Structure 1
Amino acid sequence: MLHSFSTVSLDVVEKILENAFEWIVVVDKDGLITYMNKNYCDFVEVRQEEVVGRHVTEVIENTRMHIVAQTGKEELADLQYIRGNYMIANRIPIILKDECVGAFGTVIFRDASQWMQMSSHVKSLMSKIQSYIQDINNGAKYTLDDILTESSMVQELKDKVKLVAASDISILIRGESGTGKELFAHSIHQISNRSHQPFIKLNCAAIPEHLLESELFGYEEGAFTGAKKGGKKGKFQLADGGTLFLDEIGDMPMNMQVKLLRALQDGEIEPVGATKAVSVNVRILAATNRPLERMMEEKRFREDLYYRINVIPFYIPPLRNRYEDISLLAGHFVQKVSNKIGKRILGMEDKVLEKFLHYSWPGNIRELENAVEAAVHLTEKEKITMDSLPEYLRDPAVFSLGSKKLKEILEETEKGVLQRSLEKFPNDKLAAAHSLGISKSTLYEKLNKYGLS
């Protein structure tokens, strides 16, 4: 084969072939090897100079190169089992003057897992330019690009997402409240093989116990008083073919844990009031900030369900363990809030950043975002100053650690922001609402909530 090239030297051609592909083999019309590059020879443990002239079936197991050379029909992205691994190979006939004179084959990926990892990587890159055209029915809003970090720990997690996203394996995302567990769940779905199918979320802590079964599995018409005509699909059916994200799974009641486990094991669910099961194909992602291991010891979380959902564990570190991200995230939130409300804020004073770096952030990224949002609203300068920070950050002694819950601190901060807005616009509620980036009706709701006039 190679000796037929006249305008390019054999050395140049072989150099190109050695570097253009990881593995390549060329056969003539009888299936005899005319060329096989060194990488391929090393893998099948033969010497390069010994393979020329041998029939390809003697050198490569399960090959179809000789068949392609005979039929002239190409075979693309075909799985081939070689030496204990599935390879993904192309086999292309060589046609000269309308006659098939041989074939060349290349191995694109050396095993199926390498292909899946590459698929996830490509989807991750594509999400940078296609996120805005995601199908609205998909449900997943965030990608890996939305997870901002300079932390090696978090970057390793992002790399881990690319490795496991393509499989259908169950993943349990652990971490304190506000660390970004949901962003990781969205990102896993976005670069999975289910990315064009639904992403359905259920917060297990937000649904009353007596409604949780119908939320998960749906119900038939007439199943109970108040049931909708025609029944209702549950989260499992809505997520069929896609991903079901069970947030706060540690708060799921024990009786529902049993039914969830059965659904995961059987791939079937039984809607409330139904007489037969319904098959579903769903990938499960779960998240919790609860101590599941201790809950298992206390018989508050099923051990068999734990091992079912915790095939691949993810632990997202708290913000206090990734201080290198505080400046990055704070700057991002300043820009985000400023753009939303149309206010010109150029950044933070050094003292503010120093305060942020020395604070423990018990509410993690969510607390940081809320603190920055409050500061952007309160500042009257082009940079966030200490005076514009929420009171608990300016004077930590007022809010000693453990004396107040995060919800209380954030509510007191919001109330303070509202009071200062009313002082700034004493007779103009609309102007106060606009300054806060909210509607007038929302402003009145918040004023009523805190008893402000």
Structure 2
Amino acid sequence: MKVQKYMTPDPVTLRPQDSIFLAAKTFLAHHVDGAPIVDERGLLLGLITKTHLYQAMTGGLPLTTTVERVMTTGVVTVSPDDDLDKVFSLAVKRLPVVDKEGYLVGMITATDLLTAFYDKYRSAVDQLQAILDSAYNGIIAVDREGKIILFNQKAELLVGCSAAEVKGLRITEVIPNNGLMEVLQTGEPRTGQRLVVGSTTVISDRTPITSQGRVIGALAVFQDVSELQKAMEELVDVRKFAHTLETILETAYEGIIVVDPDGIVTMFNRAYEDFLGIKREEVIGRHVTEVIENTRMHIVVKTGVPEIGLKQKIMGQEMVVQRIPIFEDNRIIGAVGKVMFKDVKDLRAMAERLHALESKVEYYETELKKIRGSKYTFDHIVGTSGKMLAVKNMALKAAQGHSNVLITGESGTGKELLAHAIHHASPRASGPFIRLNCAAIPQDLLEAELFGYEEGAFTGARKRGKPGKFELANRGTIFLDEIGDMPLPMQAKILRVLQEKEIERVGGVETLKVDVRVVAATNKDLQELVEQKLFRNDLFYRLNVITLAIPPLRERNEDIPILAQYWLEKLCDEMGIPGKRFAPEALEYFRAYQWRGNVREMINTVERLVNTVDKTVIEGQDLPAGITGWNQAERDTPAARGTLEKSLCDTERSSLLEAMEKAGGNKTVAARILGIHRSTLYDKLHKYGLA
């Protein structure tokens, strides 16, 4: 398994001259916690992570500090042709992948490694299951609670039930009096139990499965003795059945020997020949004791008592054998012996390996669901105000169905958090939750990101193609953030997915059916965009089945103290800092502040206080001037409030005009100068009539 197969190509990168502020924005926009630093040619220079940013900010470095001052150099790298075993041994969360010249070609992340682990162990489990299914005997394994965890194909034939039907059931519900529960309790093996399973008589050998000296399950091997015994009983006309019997014996996997009443060998199959290294011609006509050590075949033909599931040491190896007398007209005419297993230890080890591998696969499946699933639930939505409770109640109802949901609200109000919670509470919770910020992806890449692409679809396309977000979200939920910024041509393609429930990869010719629930979010007025011909009317009504409008923080003032204390405790816990609390005066300042950036602004403010205030109690004097300055004695008078708001608007309008002038009318450049997103710039230009 090579790195190239599982690496993430074209990762998000930064230049050494980029600021740590731009790095933080890039991390948020692309949902990553680190990025490689490359020069203009793509040569790897270093690596920067959120930890670097935290250290820079707590160290008092300005946000304009370049990333080259804080990045890690001398980064450990791997090649696309390296084996994944090398990456596993390094135990690093993320590794840049570079070519021979040192140019960055991709990143190998924890998610990529988890996928590789899953593929590797799934393949091993499938191979092991195939081996067990090819066994002639029925094999059943149970865990320490007696629940079936292994049920091979021969067991399916014997019991008359498929593995899917019985896995997870207690063994006593499927085969009563099986003896496995006794083995689990005593930890001692039991052999030679005769059972009737369905219409078949079998002999069962049971042994405990142990790990680190502890019994973790039990294994039973069922040998169908009725077939062989019935065949022997029906050999009335030896001449008629001689050829048939010889063919059966020659094709049998197990070693089989037949003796006459005097213990003289009359039949000896190829499997026994190969095992003992003796030719058949050297065996036929000789006494069985001269051929097989520790045999009891000559005793069975005298006593007429079958011996089934007993151990016998042959050539220094412990085996499980059976010896059955052959009767004709109530007299013994011979006996047949068969090696059931050449080495019971191998089978026991195989079952233990399968159990271990299945446990690992179950673990990795759970971890993959965590990575691709939702991170938050309704418990993470903090607030007891009437408006927030109404939103939560409506969202809970929406979660139970499959209809599309449109979430509206100002920037920073928690639209993505609500989308996570809806998915987690929905019937699709076990499926993936895939996120995409429509404004963060360039228009020429958006189609490939949404619908995937086939190999060779365009220059630089990944070999074997790549699935899109809709394909990854199959049987789950896709969250389309900032849907109002989606280009009109792409809106038509999204509408087709919603109507037809199918997608077509870029460069592909086949359509793929998808079962996806769409949750969209925007901080814009989509109805107004429809009237301006900037958003499709039919797509708006497709998305607007259920609308959830999250109120801004200033409209749910009573939630502010709860939220502030919640995030203070959470951030202290995450940073390993002793608990802090807000003084009542500080919370009053928080309540009076307008929070234009809503909850996101509050989180950033609280995080700054956690990092800068050493005291246990955060008081009003510790708050930023932007918050306390808002709360002078005259703050509550309508005249003062109106004057302040007008002053802020005038200042913002002047800043917009100055930036547009410096940028020569280029809105992208102006947005970069102001440090805001281009879509935010458009909103503000419209607000002040500057568009």
Q: State if a TM-score over 0.5 links the two structures.
A: yes
| Alpha-carbon spacing, 1:137–1:342, altered in 2? closer, same or farther (3 Å) | closer
Q: Paired residue for 1:388?
A: 622
Are residues 1:207 and 2:441 paired? yes
Structure 2 CA distance for partners of 1:133 and 1:146, relative to 1, 3 Å: farther
Q: Is the 8 A contact 2:374 2:433 kept in 1?
A: yes
- The residue that corresponds to 2:506 in the other structure is 272
1:352 counterpart residue number: 586
How has the CA–CA distance of structure 1 residues 162 and 382 changed in structure 2, closer, same or farther, with 3 Å as cutoff? Answer: same
Residue 334 of structure 1 pairs with residue 334 of structure 2: no
1:256 is the counterpart of 2:490: yes
1:247 partnered with 2:481: yes
Please list, as runs of the form range in 1=range in 2, the aligned pairs for 1:434-445 lying within 5 A after superposition: none
SS at match of 2:467: coil
What is the letter of the counterpart of residue 421 of structure 2? S
Alignment pair present for 1:401 and 2:648: yes
Tell me the residue number matched to 1:135.
369
CA distance in 2, matches of 1:176, 1:401: 19
Tell me if structure 2 keeps the 8 A contact 1:172–1:286. yes
Q: How does 1:28-67 map to 2 (within 5 A)?
A: none
**Residues 191 and 345 of structure 1, relative CA distance in 2, 3 Å threshold:** closer
> Equivalent residue for 1:289?
523
Summarize the alignment of residues 75-224 of structure 1 with structure 2, pairs less than 5 Å apart. 135-224=369-458
Q: For the residues of structure 1 that align with 2:443 and 2:579, how far apart are their CA atoms?
A: 45
Return the alpha-carbon distance in structure 2 between the equivalents of residues 387 and 208 of structure 1.
44
What is the rounded CA distance, in whole Å, between the counterparts of 1:218 and 1:363 in structure 2? 34
Secondary structure of 1:287's counterpart equals strand
Give the superposition deviation at 1:375: 1.4
Aligned 8 A contact 1:374 1:390 in 2: no
Instruction: Tell me if 1:309 matches 2:543.
Output: yes
Q: CA deviation at 1:270?
A: 1.1
Aligned counterpart, 1:70: none
- The reply on whether 1:235 has 2:469 as its aligned counterpart is yes
Instruction: Give 3-state SS (helix, strand or coil) of 1:154's partner.
Output: helix
**Contact 2:580/2:615, CA 8 A, preserved across alignment:** no
Contact 1:349 1:385 in 2 (8 A): yes
Q: Deviations over 1:119-142 (max 9, x none)?
A: xxxxxxxxxxxxx98932442000
Please give the alpha-carbon distance, in whole angstroms, between the structure 2 residues aligned to 1:348 and 1:137.
Answer: 34
Q: Summarize deviations over 1:222-242 as a string: whole Å, max 9, x none.
A: 000000000000000000111
Identify the match of residue 610 of structure 2 among 373, 376, 379. Answer: 376
CA distance in 1, matches of 2:621, 2:573: 22
| Alignment partners' CA distance in 1, 2:629 and 2:396 | 42
Conservation of the 8 A alpha-carbon contact between 2:407 and 2:415: yes
Greater RCO (Cα-Cα under 8 Å, separation 6 or more): 1
Amino acid at match of 1:287: A
Instruction: Decide whether the 8 Å contact of 2:398 with 2:405 is kept in 1.
Output: no
> Root-mean-square deviation (CA), in Å?
2.2
Moved more, 134-143 or 222-231: 134-143
User: 1:404: how far off?
Assistant: 5.5
**In structure 1, what is the Cα distance between the partners aligned to 2:372 and 2:428?**
10
Contact 1:241–1:280 (Cα < 8 Å) also in 2: yes
Secondary structure of the equivalent of 1:395? helix
Asked whether the equivalents of residues 345 and 376 of structure 1 are also in contact (C-alpha less than 8 Å), the reply is no
Which structure: larger Rg? 2
How big is each residue's C-alpha offset from its partner over 1:337-374, in whole Å with a ceiling of 9 and x where there is no partner? 22222333431122211111111111111111111111
Counterpart AA for 2:526: L
Q: Name the structure 1 match of 2:577.
A: 343
Aligned length: 275
**Cα deviations across residues 59-106 of structure 1 (Å, max 9, x unaligned)?**
xxxxxxxxxxxxxxxxxxxxxxxxxxxxxxxxxxxxxxxxxxxxxxxx
Q: Which amino acid aligns with 1:216?
A: L
SS of aligned partner of 1:261: helix
* Structure 2 counterpart SS, 1:136: helix
What is the deviation of 1:386?
2.7
Match of 1:325 among 559, 565, 581: 559
**Contact between 1:379 and 1:385, CA under 8 Å: does it hold in 2?**
no
Structure-2 separation of matches of 1:133 and 1:232: 22
Residues 5-43 of structure 1: per-residue CA shift (max 9 Å, x gap) = xxxxxxxxxxxxxxxxxxxxxxxxxxxxxxxxxxxxxxx
Is this contact kept in 1: 2:483–2:520, CA < 8 A?
Answer: yes
Which residue number corresponds to residue 330 of structure 2? none
Letter of the structure 2 residue corresponding to residue 401 of structure 1: L
Distance in 2 (CA, whole Å) between partners of 1:346 and 1:197 is 38
> Using the alignment, how far apart are the partners of 1:211 and 1:147 within structure 2?
33
Using the TM superposition, give the Cα deviation of residue 182 of structure 1 relative to its aligned residue in structure 2, in angstroms. 0.8
Flag the structure with higher strand content. Answer: 2
1:269–1:278 CA contact under 8 A, matched in 2: yes
Give me the whole-angstrom Cα distance separating, in 1, the residues matched to 2:461 and 2:560: 48
Unaligned 5+ runs, structure 2:
1-365, 633-643, 657-691
User: Deviation at 1:273?
Assistant: 0.3
What is the percentage of aligned positions where both structures have the same residue? 49
Classify the secondary structure of the residue corresponding to 1:374.
helix
CA–CA separation in structure 1 for the residues paired with 2:544 and 2:531:
17
Q: How does 1:6-17 map to 2 (within 5 A)?
A: none
Unaligned runs of 5+ in 1: 1-131, 409-453
What SS class does the counterpart of residue 478 from structure 2 fall into? strand
Counterpart secondary structure, 2:390: helix
Aligned 8 A contact 1:330 1:372 in 2: yes
Question: Which amino acid letter does the alignment assign opposite residue 648 of structure 2?
Answer: L
